[in-house]
Each structure stands twice: as C-alpha cells, then as structure tokens.
Structure 1
C-alpha cells in the first residue's frame, strides 16, 4: 500500500513539475547536474553568468562521503537549508508526517522548514494521499430535524372526510 502511495505521489509531482515552468522541484538528474555545475564553477577562473548564479544560490555540504546541496549561507553558523530531489521527497515528507502525529499542513511546514524546495502544495498532496488522514478527516454532519415515525393507533382518526 505504501509503495502504491509512493508511486502515485511521484507521478503527481512529476506532472506538477512538467505543468509549471518555474517549479522548484528537482529531478535526480537536475540535482546532480547542479552539484557538478557548482563544483565546476568553483574551479574555473573566468565564469559565465550561469556560474555566478549557481555560486550565489547554492553551496555543497560535505557529510562524510555524502555531499548535499544546500542554500548559500551568509555565515557558517547558520543551520543549512537542504535541497532534495523528487525521489527523496516522499520519504522526507512521510517521516515528518508520522513524527508530527499525522499533523496538518502547518505543523509539517514548520517541521520541514530546513528543506528549501518542499512546497506547501507537495505537503498537501502527500496529506491528501495519506489513508490515516482520510479516515480522521472531519465529515459533514447532517444538521436538522430527525425524522421519527408516529407510533400511535389513533393517528389520522380525527381527520375530516
């Protein structure tokens, strides 16, 4: 069931990325291509406009053998804000969703604030696919008069003919 949800989530995110020209969502290839461009821009002396843009926006964080793409920080004391690709996004949002106790959108947004490209739309998309959240969602209650039958033998005996 979780695999089906994972596949459906990725399909809908890819459809959103294709339809939106200014999407912040990154495919795995784009993520690693940006990292390679950033490494190349650091080593080249004569830089292009694109390389200046990448150097001003991104930074690479080395965690052991793993390299992560993060938002450029003003100083190193700031906490890093990570970029994630679409393939990792499901697992990250799922972990945040479960750790907030199937929390709503706002709880998850504050929990996921250390990720740069996880949007409200992707969080709402995940929440709409979560089975537990669909079960606990408030249902529309029917307000009004409760219809009960009249249980009397004398009903209609005094009517006019």
Structure 2
C-alpha cells in the first residue's frame, strides 16, 4: 500500500469510527481523556480509605472492571483479569485504533476480520465493528476479495 492509499484508508476509517460512535454505538468512546478519567476513578477508589473519602458508584464500577498498569512511567487501563494466567488486555484509546489495527493486520498477512479478532483478544480491547470497518478499508484485502483465485 503506498502512502496516498494509506492516508485515504486512514481518513475513511476515522470517518467510519465517528459514524460508529455518533450514530450506532450506545457506549461512550474510549478516548485518551475518558481513559484518564477512569484511571483517576480507580486511583481515588484505592486511596479512599487512607484519605477518609467516600466512594461513589463510578469508583466501584470501574475498580471492579478495570486495572491500572504502569509501564515506564506511563499509566494504562486494562480489563480486570479473572486469574493471573489470563493475558493483560490493554484498553486502547480510539485515537490509537488505526495504528494498532494496521500493525496486527499486516502481521496476520491481511488475514481478515477473524484472524485479527483472534490476535486482538489477547492484547487490546477494540470493538468488533471497528475491526470490521478497518478491514473494509484495506485495499489489499478488497483486491483479494475481488480476485480470490489469483
């Protein structure tokens, strides 16, 4: 894929992402800002007993569903694991979806939706409709689909 095709694919993907969150998705978008807010809720939840502060329902919800990881001084939000043998699944901000999906898509050899979802589920949380939208934007995959026996 040349640079112009990649820029156009990124623009189409970002437009589809906006449409997905504005029209179709009932859940709020995981932006950097929202992830930062959730990290703050979890940190407040953990600090509440020391500070004699009362916890609210948001504190309990986020502390029960997510963990905060710190890698190299940077904090990340991860889905809560059921056991220590489960993989750490990073909750990726929507601003980083395209780059992560592009890397995984290339690593799977343009394998399509199912291969990407299988690879993603042990690394990142990205909604399935977003993955489907990404695959639809891939020129190489669309060409493979048009000429499957070549």
Flag the structure with higher helix content. Answer: 2
Q: Give the shorter-chain TM-score range.
A: 0.7 to 0.9
- The 2-side partners of 1:116 and 1:19 are apart by 24
Larger Rg: 1
In the other structure, the counterpart of 1:83 is: 91
After superposition, the CA RMSD in angstroms is 2.0
- The 2-side partners of 1:57 and 1:86 are apart by 19
Superposition pairs for residues 90-105 of structure 1, below 5 Å? 90-105=98-113
Question: Where do 5+ consecutive residues of structure 1 fail to align?
Answer: 141-161
Structure showing greater relative contact order (alpha-carbon pairs closer than 8 Å, 6 or more residues apart): 2
Report how many aligned residue pairs link the two structures. Answer: 140
| Structure 1 residue 75: Cα displacement | 3.5
Q: Does 1:17 align with 2:21?
A: yes
Cα distance, 1:29–1:7 mapped onto 2, change above 3 Å: farther
Question: Where do 5+ consecutive residues of structure 2 fail to align?
Answer: none
Structure 1 runs of 4+ off > 4 angstroms?
none
Secondary structure of the residue that 2:55 maps to in structure 1?
coil
TM-score normalised to the size of structure 1? Answer: 0.78
